[in-house]
Copies of this chain bind each other. A is one copy, B any other.
Amino acid sequence: MQLYIMPVIKLQNVRVEQRGQPILLNVNTEINQGEFVYLTGHTEAKKRALFRLIIFEDLPSSGVVSVGEYDSQQIRKTDIPQLRRQVGVVFQDFKLLHHRTVSENVAFALEVTGVSRRRIKRKTQAILSDVDLLHKRNAYPDDLSAYERLRVAIARALVNDPLVLLADEPAAHLDSEATEQVMAIFQKINVRGITVIIATHDTAIEDRYSRRILQLENEVIEQIAN
């Protein structure tokens, strides 16, 4: 067992409804700073809904979501951008800009947060070499393989030095070998102190990695391994 400093994400009795329909029922969980957690759940288990809560895209109908120093009951609208800079997300469909190159896509996350030009260049280069994509920095996402696109998305999520990294089914398009490589990247990230949460439908994941696993089933979270 590891010792964590403090909970960076905390959900208390969270219930989400959308147009009267319940999406999540009574979710309670805590994730500590520096943890590496799998969020498993079958197809359509509402894994994305949980991620949307964590980046405050959706607010809970009842209950409290708190991330870092912010919580859903007290946060002001103007604080949400600050919060999002602390949470990097690799979206399931990557959400890359088709008409910008790899390095422009990564730099974009820095540009809109007002980082200086020199720093943008330096950080973009560094992070692209971390994910081994420097040679493709001038390619457009549509010309990349799914594996390469994934790494662009990871680079963009990390370039802002977030506290937490969320990845939604990152290994979907990967064979086992590439999956190992990506997991190694996530481990490296985690070692740097970044909390990593990976969503996956692969419920057999506990057999391979001995990490804490949160399972989303029937609209609630159960913890099944540590």
Q: Interface residues, chain A, CB within 8 Å of chain B?
A: 42-44, 48, 92-94, 145-148, 169, 172-175, 177-178, 201-203
Given A48-B145, A145-B43, are A172 and B175 neighbors across the interface (CB < 8 Å)?
Answer: no
A–B Cβ pairs within 8 angstroms, 15 of them: A42-B178, A43-B145, A43-B146, A43-B147, A43-B175, A44-B145, A44-B147, A48-B145, A92-B173, A93-B146, A169-B172, A172-B173, A175-B201, A175-B202, A175-B203
- A42 interface neighbour in B42, B93, B177, B202, Cβ under 8 Å: B177
Q: Which residues of B contact A92 (CB under 8 A)?
A: 146, 173
Copy number of this protein in the oligomer?
A: 2
Q: Which residues of B contact A178 (CB under 8 A)?
A: 42-44, 201
Report how far A48 CA is from B48 CA in the complex, Å.
27
Which single residue of chain B is at the shortest CB-CB distance from A178? B43
Which single residue of chain B is at the shortest CB-CB distance from A40? B175
B42–A175 touching, CB < 8 Å = yes
With A43-B174, A44-B178, A175-B203 known, 12 other A-B pairs at CB within 8 A are A42-B177, A42-B178, A43-B145, A43-B146, A43-B173, A44-B145, A44-B147, A44-B148, A92-B146, A146-B172, A169-B172, A169-B173
Report how far A148 CA is from B44 CA in the complex, Å.
9
Report how far A93 CA is from B147 CA in the complex, Å.
12
> From residue A69, how far is it (CB to closest CB) to chain B in Å?
30
Q: Which residues of B contact A174 (CB under 8 A)?
A: 43, 201
Report how far A105 CA is from B147 CA in the complex, Å.
27
B147–A173 touching, CB < 8 Å = no
Report how far A201 CA is from B175 CA in the complex, Å.
5
Which single residue of chain B is at the shortest CB-CB distance from A96? B93
> From residue A171, how far is it (CB to closest CB) to chain B in Å?
9
> From residue A16, how far is it (CB to closest CB) to chain B in Å?
14
> From residue A56, how far is it (CB to closest CB) to chain B in Å?
18
Report how far A170 CA is from B42 CA in the complex, Å.
16
